[in-house]
Amino acid sequence: MPERYLRQSVLAHLGLESRAVDDPGDAGLVLCERAHLGKVGLRGDPADKAFLAAVEKELGFALPLRPNTVTAGDDVTAFWLGPNEWLLAVIPYEGTPLAEDLVKALAGLHAAATVLTDSRTVIGVSGPAARDVLAKGCPLDLHPSAFPAGSCAQSLLGKADVLIHLHDGGARLDLYVQRSYADYLWRWLEDAGAEFGIAVLGD
């Protein structure tokens, strides 16, 4: 399978692997690139029961319908982006089969699935200072009372559009960012987080 060894992560040029540690120690901000996650953009009408049922059948779970919420199965996580828009994050990396299956399942419905695996990458953020660092560039309230574990939100971080996902448990955040803004965002995070100490983890 040549496609696998020919691929290159978005932040490959930063040499993150050589900086990766196993134990972040007392670093306030812990970063990693979650490079190899499939992504599918999904549009459809939430009032259309056939659409919801077709997607649920394909995913094995229902799409989130409340704003800024997340639902997930074993390999797929679904983010609410808008009243008729979702992003699916897929393990493994090659999200294309899911997209193709969805396209088939949604045939005849007013719905669309688009493979977006390469259009965004994911920067994983954790550590005790993670929320303080994000607050430097994100105008949203990220306090647990306003942004509980298991939610997502689209906002700005510095000058990059991001989708922020706070994992269940509240300790890990994922930032979905447009591919060409990832370098800016990574450097921005390192600059904003410098005062807390930074550690890089492997993918």
Residue ranges in contact with other proteins by CB under 8 A: 2-3, 6-10, 13, 41, 43, 110-112, 114-120, 132, 135-141, 143, 145-146, 158-160, 178-181, 183-185, 187-188, 191-192, 194-195, 197
- Beta carbon of residue 150, minimum distance to other proteins (angstroms, whole number): 20
Phi, psi of 91 (to 5 degrees): -110, 130
Are 135 and 128 contacting, i.e. CB atoms less than 8 angstroms apart?
Answer: no
Residue closer to other proteins (CB basis): 14 or 72: 14
Residue closer to other proteins (CB basis): 18 or 145: 145
Q: Which residues face 77 on adjacent strands? A: 72, 89
- Beta carbon of residue 129, minimum distance to other proteins (angstroms, whole number): 11
Sequence-distant (6+) residues with CB within 8 A of 166 are 142, 147, 148, 149, 150, 151, 152, 172, 173
Residue closer to other proteins (CB basis): 4 or 74: 4
Tokens linked to 86 = 């979702």
